[in-house]
């Protein structure tokens, strides 16, 4: 259940937490200009209202052996809701798929897939992705580098 309107303090809280989920409540409160107890109450209210979905660490993929990022454009045979849901459910089970977005247009879904190397992606492609129900075709684009990778959304604090 969302509150009808966020005030400037709420938006600032969201902005600080989005950029640093490990910020202490004391520092957060100081940054947004309120004391710690009401700041914590506001954070909990934002969580309860669904504005804050989760907290997580952003890990470095290459340090864990994942050196390949592929954007896979997937076409399905059918776009009936039950078929879309079946595909999304199958994708939800695949650990190498880190993002899945349904698109309007020629391509039905775009997936962000991480792999240790190109061979492991090819193995994934031929044994997991193209064998998923309703998949007609997959076009893969290897990411060369990322120039920007910012989580969340722009938050207007004015």
Residues 97-126 have pLDDT tens digits of: 999 999 999 999 999 999 999 999 999 999
Shared fold status for 8-48 and 61-142: no
How confident is the model at residue 5, as a pLDDT?
Answer: 86
Cβ(40)–Cβ(25) below 8 Å: yes
Q: How confident is the model at residue 4 (pLDDT cuts 50, 70, 90)?
A: low
Average pLDDT, whole number, for the chain? Answer: 95
What pLDDT score does 133 carry? 87
**Over the stretch 10-67, which tens digit does the pLDDT of each residue have?**
999 999 999 999 999 999 999 999 999 999 999 999 999 999 999 999 999 999 999 9
The domain ranges of the chain are: 8-48, 61-142
Q: What CATH fold (topology level) applies to the domain 61-142?
A: Alpha-Beta Plaits (3.30.70)
Ramachandran assignment for 40, one of left (phi > 0), alpha (psi -120 to 50 degrees), beta (any other): alpha
Nearest to 129 by CA among 157, 108, 156, 105: 108
Distance CA 27, CA 61 (A): 29
* CATH architecture group of domain 8-48: Orthogonal Bundle (1.10)
The pLDDT of residue 33 is 97
């Amino acid at each position: 259940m969302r509150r009808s309107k966020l005030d400037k303090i709420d938006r600032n809280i969201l902005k600080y937490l989005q950029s640093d989920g490990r910020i202490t409540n004391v520092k957060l409160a100081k940054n947004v200009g309120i004391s710690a107890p009401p700041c914590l109450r506001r954070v909990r209210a934002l969580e309860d209202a669904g504005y804050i979905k989760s907290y997580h660490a952003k890990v470095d993929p290459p340090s864990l052996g994942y050196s390949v990022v592929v954007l896979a454009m997937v076409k399905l045979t059918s776009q009936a809701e039950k078929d879309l849901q079946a595909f999304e459910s199958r994708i939800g089970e695949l650990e190498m798929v880190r993002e899945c977005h349904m698109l309007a247009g020629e391509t039905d879904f775009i997936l962000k897939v991480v792999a240790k190397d190109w061979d492991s992606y090819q193995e994934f492609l031929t044994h997991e992705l193209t064998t998923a129900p309703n998949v007609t075709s997959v076009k893969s684009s290897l990411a060369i580098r990322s120039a920007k990778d910012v989580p969340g959304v722009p938050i207007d604090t004015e």
